[in-house]
Amino acid sequence: MASQKRILIAKPGLDGHDRGAKIIARALRDAGHEVIYTGLHQTPDMIVSAALQEDVDMIGLSILSGAHLTLVKDVQSRLQKAKLKHVKLFVGGIIPEGDISKLKKLGVKGVFTPGTPLANVIATFEKN
């Protein structure tokens, strides 16, 4: 295992389905990382505030609402304003194939769609 990371898992927006986020949080925790799960209905401001308070290395956003581009831009902007440019951002959820490259251009380090093997998710977090 790579060195232990502090990882924030967040569910931004109004989407109330968090099973995937909980599965990822558990898998990362089982792999030896410290995971903070913020729960449902988080605003970008709440997510960045939690990242600052918890001194995390990474943030994983679980987004099923289709608002991933808007939410990522907002979170990235707030991370920069909070001087947290070093915090790496990952996104999981229902992401159209055409939006994956757009998210990566926004600075997202990994994008996970339904069916991504947990080993791949863990490996992506650990190599970043």
What are the extents of the domains in the chain?
A: 6-123
Measured distance CA(62)–CA(12) in Å, rounded: 7
Report the b/e string of 86-117 with b at 16+ CB within 10 A.
Answer: ebbbbbbbbbeeebbeebeeeebebbbeeeee
- The pLDDT tens digits for 54-110 are 999 999 999 999 999 999 999 999 999 999 999 999 999 999 999 999 999 999 999
Mean pLDDT rounded to a whole number for the chain: 95
Q: Are 100 and 108 in contact (CB under 8 A)?
A: no
The stretch 23-48 carries a mean pLDDT of 97
Amino acid (one-letter) located at 23: I
> What is 6-123's CATH superfamily?
Cobalamin-binding domain (3.40.50.280)
